[in-house]
Amino acid sequence: MNCPSCKSAVGDGERYCERCGCDLRASGGDPDRGISWQSTTAGVLPCPSCGETAITADGQCERCGRARVSGLDRMELAVPGVAGVTDRGLLRGRNEDALAVGRLSAGPNTLAVVCDGVSTSPDGDTAARVAVDAAIVVLLDMLARGVPADQAIEAATGTAADAVAALPGARAAEVPPSCTYVAAVIAPEEITVGWVGDSRAYWVGAYGVEAQQLTIDDSPAAQLAATGVPVPGVDPHSVALLRWLGADAFDTRPRTVSLRPDAPGRLLICSDGLSRYAKDPAELVTAATTGSPADAARALTRLALEGGGRDNITVAVLPFPPPAQEA
């Protein structure tokens, strides 16, 4: 077993990596069922003074004030058939995105979940982390039991929503922790995506011959644009979130879409820290088709950083069809 943060070898049963201190509980699996997964929650280390995991925007422990390093400024995750990167970006004080990737050998199926903490809510990073961890476990379990991908995504989204709403003090807070959500499942013949908010999914055909956005942002502008009514993007109200995960959310059911490509390609799911730099899906093609899935995830992250890196950036790259061998 290797540490998902620094890639050092770690022994079975160890809780923390001896080299970097990463929490090894944020990855797991069930070899007997062919399940494996990783999550960026591994990068969040408890404060050495008081054990708190929450970090303020200026990098201090939320409980005792000690200077902290979250471990989430940048992380790369990979399991066979899917790779992802999360990066703090150039301007944000901390990374409020979260990512989980997984694989089920039966099928095979590969999957990923990206959540983006809502910046206007407190502890959006905590909301994103609990959401991806809750979702990835349910997704893998239900797929292993033969549940169809769209139903598995719906159940996983509901579990993620409940986990965010159950955060301490969330139900009593005037503005509780919240996040957006997108999840994808890649099967040998079909791609299924579910989302709440403005985190996105893109399909990029092999050799860049096709590129399309599969999701529709849950914002007034995007909803109207989908019906053919354009809304100026400069109006802040036109891009306000209509749906999210949080204790104050009124609709957390995922919208879902399925695609049955007739040729190989790659699915991308990402936070708006990347999509804001791609007004047209075609702008993602070169980076998305670079090398391995891990190479492509790095190239897409670099595209956003070179575009300004104004927000946290998280992207997962999932080839279609999923690789049959765990190589």
136-194: per-residue pLDDT in tens? 999 999 999 999 999 999 999 999 999 999 999 999 999 999 999 999 999 999 999 99
Question: In the prediction, which pLDDT does 60 show?
Answer: 74
Please enumerate, as own/partner, the contacts of 290-299 that have beta carbons within 8 Å and a separation of 24 or more. 292/83, 293/78, 293/81, 293/82, 293/83, 293/266, 293/317, 293/318, 293/319, 294/76, 294/78, 294/83, 296/83, 296/266, 297/76, 297/83, 297/84, 297/85, 298/76, 298/85
Higher pLDDT, 261 or 54: 261
pLDDT at 244 over 80: yes
Fold of 33-39+72-320: Phosphatase 2c; domain 1 (3.60.40)
Rounded average pLDDT over 203-208: 87
Q: What is the pLDDT of residue 87?
A: 96
Q: Residue 17 has what pLDDT?
A: 59
Q: Is 8 helix (H, G, I), strand (E, B) or coil?
A: coil
- Residues with Cβ < 8 Å from 63, sequence gap 6 or more? 47, 50, 52, 54
Portion of the chain with pLDDT greater than 90, in percent: 68
- Mean local confidence (pLDDT), 6-10: 63
301 in Cβ contact with 316 (< 8 Å): no
**Is 60 exceeded by the pLDDT of residue 26?**
no
**Which pLDDT does position 14 carry in this prediction?**
62
- In the prediction, which pLDDT does 225 show? 76
The model's confidence at residue 206, banded by pLDDT at 50, 70 and 90, is confident
Task: Give residue 233's Cα distance to chain centre.
Answer: 24
Q: What is the pTM of this model?
A: 0.85
- Do 264 and 319 contact (CB within 8 A), yes or no? yes
Structure tokens at 174: 């005037």
Task: Name 222's Cβ contacts closer than 8 Å, sequence gap at least 6.
Answer: 198, 216, 239
Q: Confidence class of residue 18 from pLDDT cuts 50, 70 and 90?
A: low
User: Are the CB atoms for 182 and 217 separated by under 8 Å?
Assistant: no
Give the per-residue pLDDT at 46: 63
Query: How far is Cα 15 from Cα 34, in angstroms, rounded to an integer?
Result: 22
Q: What's residue 238's pLDDT?
A: 60
Percent of the chain past pLDDT 70, that is, above it, reads 82
Tell me the pLDDT tens digit for each residue of 46-63: 666 777 766 675 667 778
